[in-house]
Structure 1
Amino acid sequence: MVKVFKKGVIGSMTVMLMLSGFLVACSSKDGGSSTATTSPSGSNTAAPSKEPEKPAKIRVTLWDRANAPEGQNLGNNPIIKYVIDETKKVGLDVEFVSLPRAQESEKLNVWMASGEAPDIILTYSMDTIFKYAEQGGLWELDSYLAKYPDLIKNNKAALDQVGMYKGKRYAIPALKANTYSGPNMKIRKDWLDALGMKNPTTNEELYQVLKAFKEKDPGNVGKDKVIPWALPAINQSMKAFYYGPMFGFGVNMDGPSNQFYAPDGNYKNGVFTSAVATPEGKAYYQWMNKVYKEGLISKEFVTDVSSQQFTQQVNSGVAGFVDSNDTPWNMNVATRKSVPTATWVSVEPFKRPDGTQVMNKVSDFSMLVAVPKSSKNPDAVMKYLNWMVQPKNLATVQSGIEGVNWKDDGGVKVQIDPELNKKTTWVSSAGDLAIVQQGGPALNKEQLLKSVALSLPDAKQREEYANSFVTYYDIFKKFGKPNTIIDSPRPVAQKTVAAIEKSLYEGVSKVIISTDFEKIYAEMLSAWERAGGKDYDKEITDAYKAMKK
């Protein structure tokens, strides 16, 4: 059963529908079948059948990204049906509760305050886990997790890093099997080639490239239609970011990460300062203000709260540069439906004033699974997660039905029907369904070629595909840095992080489009301070001192 909670019109918000599969396969002795036993008199008789136990009901959060293909929804998707049907066999009754991705924090707060939260809640923020744990709103999971060695073994690298609060476990982190991924810059190589230009290596070179895209229209889409840099509204559900250009100005990801999609700040001389309050951050936003005024990003980006406009710009072939979680190849697939010659390629991190190059990459863990105290079934939740780490179940929630969506070729999943997969595996393509593990290990070139043997019959296309991913992985291997982990109580962040992020979502947009940069930037900085920004930074500084960072 799927229950959908809505607030207003969700539109086509990029929805992350996160499925939580679970359950441990039962042996025959655990089922309800009759077995031969010895009666008190010594004769063998059939023991009376036991009344089957009522399945344990659990409600599982699913992030709704509003990305369901036409004719598909949570109620008729075959992978969701697989999870519901298979978990029933082991005594679990799963109901998925849809949560619009853009309303995650707001809705989660309402759920927790009202005691109506699903049995499984999801977040990427340890500060959120700390807050609810401190308030007594989450189950301690140590004793429940101890019963499930398969889950412990599969997720050990993630469990060793996060999920603890004051010495007790309150969250099960999903394992990130391939850490060579994260926000990355991509550019239209076919446009660069038409202009005789190369990949930009600095922010100034990017600016010159964007101007050339705007003025010379290398894609022949019409000068009034060209979007040199595609960027959606800056909010919690934005589908593209500005990590790369901001890194290029010297802003770092020295903090413990947050839900604001940009480099978070610099740690220098024993002090942490959030990006918004650094000289490098101010210089970046002033540059963005110039880029906006010159029409190098969409004039209407602030209103694109669902990333619908951004998606259309990429898919229709009018965009030239993006910074997002997408891979170049996946963007090629999307854009080539409109422009067959479109070629997106990776861009290495920009050289900064000090000559360094850096980018963020994911850690060994991803989303955090927690169980609210309102749940009556914390053990059933662990059974669900343990069910999901079983190889067949994990493969299904990640990639679809074996023999229908993919086949195994020496340990490599080979797509059978890519068009069918687009319609049926959207619930798992973003990694939201498999809440115990996101993705598998990075493939080498030989494995990459094998993985698309059926979906890309043309040898030249397969070679392009493999080379695209090899380059993509190599950039992360060479330049990527994961976030610092502060796995200790942060009471200030628990109180202020939501207000700080809200102030930045609002303030940054105003700064970029402002006609008086200095005035609006000062107002943004003041709003950040009122929200608790300086206290937030001091808490991180003190935590790093304790960690001897």
Structure 2
Amino acid sequence: MRKGIACMQRRISMAIAVMFIAATLLAACSGKNDGNESSSPSATTEATTTEASSSTESSPESDALVMKDGKYDPPIEITTVKQIGPELKFKNGETLDDNVFTRWLEDRMGIKQKILWTTPTTNDAFKTKLMLTLTANEPMPDYLYVPVDVAHTLIDSGKFQPVGELFDKYASDEWKAAMDETKDVWLPYKRDGQTYGIPMIESSLLHDDVMWIRQDWLDNLGMKAPTTTEELEVVMDAFVNKDPDKDGKKNTIAVAAALKTVKYNLATWLGLNPIMGSYGSFMSIWHKNAQGEIVYGTTTPETKTAIGKIKEWIDKGYLHKEVGIQDEVKAMELYTSGQAGIAFSTQWAYNWPFNATETNVKGANVQPYPLPAGPDGQIGQIGNGLNHWLVLLINKDMKHPEVLFEYQNYLYEHYEDPPKGGEFEFGFARGYDYDFVGGKRVTTENEIPGGRHAPQFLFMAPVVPSKQIKALAELADGRAPATPYEETLATSPMQAKLSAKYIYEQREHTVNNLYNGPQTQTMKDKQENLDKMEAEMFSKIIYGKEPLDYYDKWVQNWKSAGGDQIQKEVTDWYNAANGG
């Protein structure tokens, strides 16, 4: 559930979800079906080709597909929509409709992609546009990738087709094996025995946080990185009051954070999730308390303590005074411009955007550190338990949904874990995400002539959840890369490897949402109001409009406004799903 968001951040966009994309690939191995409506064996690329060709031979319909040399001939057009983040860049005069990826898709697969419309990633623009399209009963694209929270509304609209049988029939063994690593991932998208969404799985732990600190600020002040929240407060005070950047001005803040989105424990990709977790608070998810009861994390005594700590930090100037209304873009700017010295964010955050800090600020040195322990020695954060925040939906009117599987199967077979000598051995496209300079392979922004412009921001890369973070952690410890996939990972900056190492070492402290089902009836009726109540409570307390004890009144109001009934529904679902 975490960071189902922005896809800035963890919600920033489908692009951000695969920010360190050159490494988010998948191993070829056998797999099972997803337990949906059909037990048909998976179709390999060859089987799909044969089926399409046979259909063409036996059917007189003019829209029957023909494949020649592994591609559709004539090409088939498919439509979609996209949200576009600031990380997407083009080179050589390319555009969203004509670029290295769209040309590859047509040349290699015989698929023309038409984008009907786009939105920015900020201010829920994508969600708003989708809801307006739905309300106006305007045509939906053939397929689209949508955040988890939007998927349920679209599924319930009746405009999208079941995908369970399609997946069982057309998905490759490699894709199925990857999905089998997180079998519960299908549960939220089931309706009356049918499955309506294909979760676009990510690397496990991809959205877990580390603590990113300006090492040069620590060095200027003669300080060490904090290992506890008590030590962290000492460092934060120095970062605010002792001129860490040595410019003779009092113009710095300690921590850059985006608290505009309260849901999911302030767990955007640039939030305070690990700080809340260090006090035992896991806001906005369902988890077990010390008594083994399933509780809503925002209603626990630990959350009251953690909210009080955030207010204290605002009052002391450790956090920006407008932190409660800042989104990830604003928080990112504070860090990359050199105004802030600490941020809690993901493993991929060094590749973008934190590396820009070192470009923008002379002498800046950004380094990752493990999460600090709280007053009772607790380390904690919310994880992205189901390993996805985007869902593939297929329009019920799409005539040839098998095209989507043909394309994704190809990527799983050839791109996810490429063989030596394969077309993707070094990356997606030379001159874009890699190049050779003086006989040496280069992959970074400064090394690639004309800059790095990763095509992977234009498509959903195939992923095996268990691979990336573990491999990076092992590479950080000095293990030599053994495959082209690992050779790609090995080109990562040491900060990216170290952050993966710390995340992997602290993985036992990650708490995941126990509720993975579809919206209950009370959620449909009451959740919007409950979320509003939650956001208002948080804002009022951190800005002093209400005392901390107002929290206790809010908990009672939340329970009586539908929270207690939802808790019962969640508990019943959990017990049933786990054989209780």
Report TM bin, short chain. 0.7 to 0.9
| Secondary structure of the structure 1 residue equivalent to 2:359 | coil
Matches within 5 A, 1:129-528: 129-134=151-156, 136-150=158-172, 152-153=175-176, 155-157=178-180, 160-164=183-187, 165=190, 166-179=192-205, 181-235=207-261, 239-252=269-282, 255=285, 266-305=288-327, 307-327=328-348, 329-330=350-351, 333-363=355-385, 365-366=387-388, 367-373=390-396, 375-392=398-415, 400-402=428-430, 404-406=432-434, 415=443, 418=446, 420=448, 425=453, 428=456, 433-434=459-460, 436-437=462-463, 441=468, 442-443=471-472, 444-445=474-475, 446-447=479-480, 451=488, 464-465=494-495, 468-469=498-499, 471-477=501-507, 479-484=509-514, 486-487=516-517, 490-518=520-548, 521=551
Specify whether residues 67 and 392 from structure 1 end up closer, same or farther in structure 2 by C-alpha distance, changes over 3 A only: closer
Q: Kindly provide the amino acid, as one letter, of the partner of residue 434 in structure 2.
A: W
Specify whether residues 467 and 231 from structure 1 end up closer, same or farther in structure 2 by C-alpha distance, changes over 3 A only: closer
The 8 Å contact of residues 139 and 373 in structure 1, kept in 2 or not, is answered as: yes
Please state if 1:121 is matched with 2:147. no
Could you report, residue by residue, the CA deviation over 1:98-148 in whole angstroms, capped at 9, with x for unpaired residues?
A: 2433334333333344253322233442x6545544554431112222332
TM-score, length-normalised on structure 2? 0.70
Count, aligned residues:
495
Specify whether residues 391 and 56 from structure 1 end up closer, same or farther in structure 2 by C-alpha distance, changes over 3 A only: same
The 8 Å contact of residues 82 and 115 in structure 2, kept in 1 or not, is answered as: no
Partners of 1:117 and 1:397 lie apart in 2 by: 36
Partners of 1:183 and 1:343 lie apart in 2 by: 19
Out of 217-226 and 374-383, give the one that drifted further. Answer: 374-383
Partners of 1:397 and 1:283 lie apart in 2 by: 51
The 8 Å contact of residues 405 and 421 in structure 1, kept in 2 or not, is answered as: no
Q: Kindly provide the amino acid, as one letter, of the partner of residue 516 in structure 2.
A: I
Could you report, residue by residue, the CA deviation over 1:471-530 in whole angstroms, capped at 9, with x for unpaired residues?
A: 334434454454435346633334444444454445433432234334764786578568
Specify whether residues 447 and 187 from structure 1 end up closer, same or farther in structure 2 by C-alpha distance, changes over 3 A only: same
Q: Kindly provide the amino acid, as one letter, of the partner of residue 157 in structure 1.
A: D
Q: Kindly provide the amino acid, as one letter, of the partner of residue 83 in structure 2.
A: W
Partners of 1:422 and 1:298 lie apart in 2 by: 36
Could you report, residue by residue, the CA deviation over 1:371-392 in whole angstroms, capped at 9, with x for unpaired residues?
A: 2435454333333433443424
Aligned to 1:39: none
Partners of 1:61 and 1:109 lie apart in 2 by: 13
The 8 Å contact of residues 442 and 448 in structure 2, kept in 1 or not, is answered as: no
Partners of 2:522 and 2:430 lie apart in 1 by: 47
| Secondary structure of the structure 2 residue equivalent to 1:284 | helix
Specify whether residues 427 and 266 from structure 1 end up closer, same or farther in structure 2 by C-alpha distance, changes over 3 A only: farther
Specify whether residues 93 and 309 from structure 1 end up closer, same or farther in structure 2 by C-alpha distance, changes over 3 A only: closer
Aligned to 2:67: none
Aligned-pair CA distance for 1:401: 0.9
Aligned-pair CA distance for 1:267: 3.6
Partners of 2:344 and 2:509 lie apart in 1 by: 16
The 8 Å contact of residues 229 and 319 in structure 1, kept in 2 or not, is answered as: yes
Specify whether residues 389 and 247 from structure 1 end up closer, same or farther in structure 2 by C-alpha distance, changes over 3 A only: same
Q: Between the two proteins, what is the percent identity of the paired residues?
A: 20
Aligned-pair CA distance for 1:171: 1.6
Partners of 2:239 and 2:291 lie apart in 1 by: 41
| Secondary structure of the structure 1 residue equivalent to 2:343 | strand
Aligned to 2:66: none
Aligned-pair CA distance for 1:59: 2.0
Partners of 1:469 and 1:303 lie apart in 2 by: 28
Partners of 2:500 and 2:73 lie apart in 1 by: 51
Aligned-pair CA distance for 1:344: 2.9
Specify whether residues 401 and 497 from structure 1 end up closer, same or farther in structure 2 by C-alpha distance, changes over 3 A only: farther
CA-atom RMSD in angstroms: 4.4
Aligned-pair CA distance for 1:334: 1.8
Aligned to 2:21: none
Aligned-pair CA distance for 1:421: 8.5
Q: Kindly provide the amino acid, as one letter, of the partner of residue 348 in structure 1.
A: P
